[in-house]
Amino acid sequence: MSGKAAPAAQPVELRNLVRPGLIFPNLAATDRWAVLRELADLVAETGMVGDAEALCEKLREREELGSTATGGGVAIPHCKLAGLEHVVVAVGVCPEGIDFGGAEGELVKLFFLLLSPEEAPAAHLQSLAAISRWVKKECPCDRLFSAGDPDLLFQLLQGDSVG
């Protein structure tokens, strides 16, 4: 044993979690359960998960434990799924906002859907922390709420300065 400590792992960053094909700037849902359904369907359509119905049910079960609205017009619905190979983050925007059951009744416009492999609880927590850190420190929320274009949203999520 050398007595040297292992190098600290680099923290997970949002920019490394988001993918262009998983950004949905114009969600049509008008209530809490419909937005979970819409996000589940959209993610399943990409092939990232096989069963939209099972995903929606897991998200609903988690949401019934307590709202994942974090304040500032943001929510982070999340769950762990068996058979998932890696963490998946989808981003959706409801420009009009949705009552998502948050403490102060604030409308949620920005959704970070986090899906993690069931057997990777550490990755799940690290990804939740990365999203939360980014929202608190870097989020250009007003620009994200009104971007309307997946490419622009992706650039903003990457921290790229845009126009």
- Express each pLDDT in 96-105 by its tens digit: 899 998 777 7
Identified catalytic residue from 78, 80, 109, 124? 78
- Give domain status of residue 10, yes or no: no
Tokens 């920005």 appear where? 110
Q: What is the CATH number of the domain that holds 43?
A: 3.40.930.10
pLDDT at 12: 82
- Give domain status of residue 55, yes or no: yes
pLDDT at 94: 93
Bridge-based pairing of strands 69-71 and 18-24 is unpaired
- Express each pLDDT in 73-120 by its tens digit: 999 999 999 989 999 999 999 988 999 987 777 899 999 999 999 999
Closest CA to 150 of 18, 35, 41: 18
- Give domain status of residue 66, yes or no: yes
- Give domain status of residue 107, yes or no: yes
- Give domain status of residue 8, yes or no: no
Residue 2 has pLDDT above 50, yes or no: no
Classify residue 29 as left (phi > 0), alpha (psi -120 to 50) or beta: beta
- Give domain status of residue 6, yes or no: no
Q: Helix count (H) and strand count (E) of the chain?
A: 5, 6
Q: What is the pTM of this model?
A: 0.89
141 beta partners: none
Please return the burial class of 149, using the count of CB atoms within 10 Å of its CB with bins 0-12, 13-18 and 19+. exposed
Bridge-based pairing of strands 107-117 and 74-75 is parallel
124 flagged as catalytic:
no
Domain assignment of residue 23, given as a range = 18-157
- Give domain status of residue 134, yes or no: yes
Structural domain count, the chain: 1
| Residue 124: strand, helix, or coil | helix
Residue 9 has pLDDT above 70, yes or no: no
- Give domain status of residue 2, yes or no: no
